[in-house]
A = this chain, B = another copy of it.
Amino acid sequence: MSQYRTFTAADAVAYAQQFGGVESPDELVDAQEIGDGNLNLVFKIFDIHHRSRVIVKQALPYVRCVGESWPLTLDRARLEAQTLVEHYRHCPQHTVQVLHYDPALAVMVMEDLSDHRIWRGELIKGAYYPQAATQLGEYLAQTLFHTSDFHLHPHNKKALVAQFINPEMCEITEDLFFNDPYQINERNSYPAAIEASVAALRDDSALKVAVASLKHRFFSHAEALLHGDIHSGSIFVADGSLKAIDAEFGYVGPIGFDVGTAIGNLLLNYCGAPGQLGIRDAAAAREQRLTDIRELWQAFATRFARLAATETHDAALAAPGYVEAFLKKVLTDAVGFAGSELIRRSVGLSHVADIDTIADEEMKHACLRHAIELGKALILVAGQVDNADELLIRVRQYS
């Protein structure tokens, strides 16, 4: 039947004809491989009018950017498809639609989002999407609330945990977020000019205790089905629209990890803005990122609390006041995880274009140092941050 084989463009077209759910499938004639990520083949499928119609995505059995020497489970295709399907159930307006998937071929067919753009690129060039931050907060609230203990029957929650056990992808996060930047490791990647800042990470024992606590929460706090990698490069935006993609890191983990990854990537843009834009535009972009973060948190927390008020099925968790107490803990977690995202994207294997594409080397180094210092500060003060405004005060304090 469907034994794994690596797709050619022709395979992708044939697959899209069969499973793309388009009218007149015979009109699908061409495929373009557009995968710029690290892990997968991604084909855009065109019809005879040169219009792209659907996406065919296939997982490769190794890390694409490293090569066959770093094998990686094909089961991540199932995990990604099932995470997206589950998130789409709860938030179809902000989740890419999966039209079909096949675990054995590690392939899925998704809706085409060619009328959207990757948010990271838009943020870097200073293009503003007024509803994006709020929509991202809505996505996080809907998907995380509906897969949490507030909403799910305990039996279903436990089945969800089992379904989304994701050892290999989690291990990447466990290593790249919480280990590599705080030790000498050949996977780390940063300019020699910032060595002093990086060395200081390795020598900061209070920081390492706080990072251990973050990692332990990532390991053990099974709160909701996370996207697991919800950075601005996993988000498509268009006028009034936002769609999450790329959920192969999905697993049941701490809600603050998704929220913190989202906030952390807005802060990475904040740190990189002076290197990407003129002085005035950079200052405006920075203010906008802070506003984005406030809006994201407000949208998330307000929706989560509203859902909790009306859709909490658990009698104990429905206690008046509990969801507010829980959201405080989520913010603490999110601030810490945001800090670890700032650091691992500056020091570790995988960087972000917000800073990496800065042409001026001195400026780039200054931005990297800023991201590291801000990340450190957030990890250390996370327990004292009680609301979004306090978070913004901290960000300004370390800028």
CB within 8 Å of B: which residues of A? 149, 154-155, 157-159, 161-162, 165-167, 170-171, 174, 178-179, 182-183, 205-206, 208-209, 211-213, 215-216, 219-223, 314-322, 325-326
Residues of B within 8 A of A215 (CB): 314, 316-317
Is the CB–CB distance between A167 and B149 below 8 Å? no
Is the CB–CB distance between B316 and A211 below 8 Å? yes
Tell me how far the C-beta of A122 lies from the nearest C-beta in chain B, rounded to whole angstroms.
34
Q: How far is the CA of A326 from the CA of B220 in the complex (A)?
A: 13
Contact of A212 among B183, B211, B219, B316 (CB under 8 A): B316
Is the CB–CB distance between A170 and B154 below 8 Å? yes
Residues of B within 8 A of A316 (CB): 178-179, 182, 208, 211-212, 215
Residues of B within 8 A of A209 (CB): 319-322, 325
Q: How far is the CA of A211 from the CA of B318 in the complex (A)?
A: 11
Is the CB–CB distance between A158 and B154 below 8 Å? no
Main secondary structure of the interface of A (DSSP, over half): helix
Tell me how far the C-beta of A13 lies from the nearest C-beta in chain B, rounded to whole angstroms.
37
Residues of B within 8 A of A216 (CB): 149, 317, 322, 326
Name the CB-closest residue of B to A214: B316
Is the CB–CB distance between B170 and A205 below 8 Å? no
Tell me how far the C-beta of A184 lies from the nearest C-beta in chain B, rounded to whole angstroms.
12
Given A211-B316, A215-B317, A326-B213, do A155 and B167 touch, yes or no (CB 8 Å)? Answer: yes
Is the CB–CB distance between B158 and A167 below 8 Å? yes
Given A162-B162, A220-B223, do A212 and B319 touch, yes or no (CB 8 Å)? Answer: yes
Name the CB-closest residue of B to A148: B220
8 pairs of A and B residues whose beta carbons are closest in the complex: A208-B319, A212-B322, A155-B167, A149-B219, A215-B316, A212-B319, A209-B321, A178-B316
Is the CB–CB distance between A157 and B205 below 8 Å? no
Given A165-B162, A316-B179, do A154 and B219 touch, yes or no (CB 8 Å)? Answer: yes
Contact of A222 among B183, B222, B314, B322 (CB under 8 A): B222
Is the CB–CB distance between B219 and A179 below 8 Å? no
Is the CB–CB distance between B182 and A158 below 8 Å? no
Q: How far is the CA of A174 from the CA of B149 in the complex (A)?
A: 12
Tell me how far the C-beta of A158 lies from the nearest C-beta in chain B, rounded to whole angstroms.
5
